[in-house]
């Protein structure tokens, strides 16, 4: 029995595997995050929240390896989830469930490529630069959010 796909998914199959990996990562995070919140019931919710985020990152790394989606897909999935979480928290009337359904598809679309067609160097540089901008923007938002009194 193998715990990893034999080949990397290409084309439209990448979207299907992306959603399958997203569901697996959500299930792993939900199970372990629930245990953490129960175990840390009397601890500050700050620690439980950051530990759950660490579990989310770990589960994304695991499913990225198992489904052979590549490190760039995992990095974009976490970046998309971070930006969508920011949108849901800022506009608190929105339901956050749509973000969970949108994230794997967006990550698959951003990292999409055809089987035998290499990705050009400018496209790779633009993808990495955009990823850096997304993470930097989210970090600035977290710093402002933590510095602002409630």
In 3D space, the residue among 74, 64, 70, 81 whose CA is nearest the CA of residue 113 turns out to be 70
| Measured CA angle at 55 (ends 54, 60), to 5 deg | 100
Long-range interactions of 34-37: CB distance < 8 A, separation 24+ = none
Q: Tell me the pLDDT tens digit for each residue of 90-132.
A: 776 566 677 778 889 888 888 887 777 777 889 889 989 999 9
Domain presence at residue 1:
no
Domain span at residue 20? 13-147
Q: Tell me the pLDDT tens digit for each residue of 31-82.
A: 988 887 787 777 676 777 778 888 989 999 999 998 988 899 999 999 988 8
Statement: residue 1 has pLDDT above 60? no
Q: How many domains does the chain have?
A: 1
Domain presence at residue 5:
no
pTM of the full structure: 0.82
Domain presence at residue 3:
no
Domain presence at residue 72:
yes
């Amino acid at each position: 029995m193998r715990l990893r796909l034999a080949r990397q998914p290409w084309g439209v199959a990448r979207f299907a595997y992306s959603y399958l990996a997203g569901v697996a990562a959500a299930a792993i995070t939900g199970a372990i995050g629930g245990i953490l919140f129960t175990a840390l019931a009397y601890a500050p919710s700050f620690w439980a929240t950051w530990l759950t985020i660490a579990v989310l990152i770990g589960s994304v790394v695991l499913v990225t390896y198992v489904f052979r989606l590549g490190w760039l897909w995992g990095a974009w999935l976490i970046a998309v989830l971070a930006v969508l979480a920011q949108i849901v928290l800022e506009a608190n009337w929105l339901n956050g469930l749509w973000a969970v359904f949108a994230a794997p598809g967006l990550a698959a679309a951003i990292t999409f490529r055809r089987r035998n067609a290499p990705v050009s160097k400018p496209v790779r540089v633009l993808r990495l630069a955009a990823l850096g901008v997304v993470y930097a923007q989210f970090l600035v938002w977290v710093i402002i959010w933590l510095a602002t009194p409630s």
